[in-house]
Amino acid sequence: MRKIGVLYGGSSQHSRTYKTGEFAKHIHQLLPVQEFAEANLETLDVLLIPSQTHMKLLEANVEKIKDFADSGRIVVTFGPQGFDWLPAHNWEFRPTNFWWWLEKNAKSGLTLPGEKHDLFQRYLSLDDATWHQHGVYWPTAGCETLVATEDGGSVLYIDKVNSGGTWVNTTLDPDYHYGSYFMPATERFLRGFLPWLAEGKI
């Protein structure tokens, strides 16, 4: 089993998702963002960066996060990142439609190019990854997009080519919504995604 560490901001959403709720059992170590510069990451296999992490504190630790990936390990990022720091991600902001499902003939606009990937064969369905998006990535050649928009923008992708390790980046923000007690799909997403991080084929 891989050991997962979380860059922990201490917000109520982060607390419920990673510290006190049902998903805490998947987390090996909480790493307070204020103390992250001195943190020992040697025992970790995965470093998860939650959505809505304090931008200035995150920015101060970008090189340490990249070094973690370059050591051959896994970095996961949730939600849109507040500044340009992910390797070769080519972020595109798009306005968020929070209420698309109330429209006539509602469609999420999502597709599942990664339907044969282990994550979606054994742990998740597209419905579990469907609530809303905050934008898309346009990753470089060699990256693997698992969830996309209909025009090919990446909502969830795996990058094994732009660093010495593996990046799993998504515009989805399940920890914020689960931690805020709304959006049922996010609970299902975390019930599949976190066990996959710990034991699945990445």
All domains of the chain in start order, with CATH: 4-199 (3.40.50)
| This prediction's pTM | 0.95
Q: What percent of the chain has pLDDT over 70?
A: 95
> How far is 9 from 38, CA to CA, in rounded Å?
15
Q: What is the pLDDT of residues 128-143, one digit of tens each?
A: 999 987 899 999 999 9
Report whether pLDDT(103) > 80. Answer: no
Residue carrying the six token digits 């891989």 = 2
Query: What are the start-end ranges of the E strands in 98-180?
Result: 110-111, 135-137, 144-149, 154-159, 166-170
Report whether pLDDT(101) > 70. Answer: no
DSSP per residue over 181-198, as a string?
A: T--HHHHHHHHHHHHHHH
Confidence of residue 87 (pLDDT cuts 50, 70, 90): very high
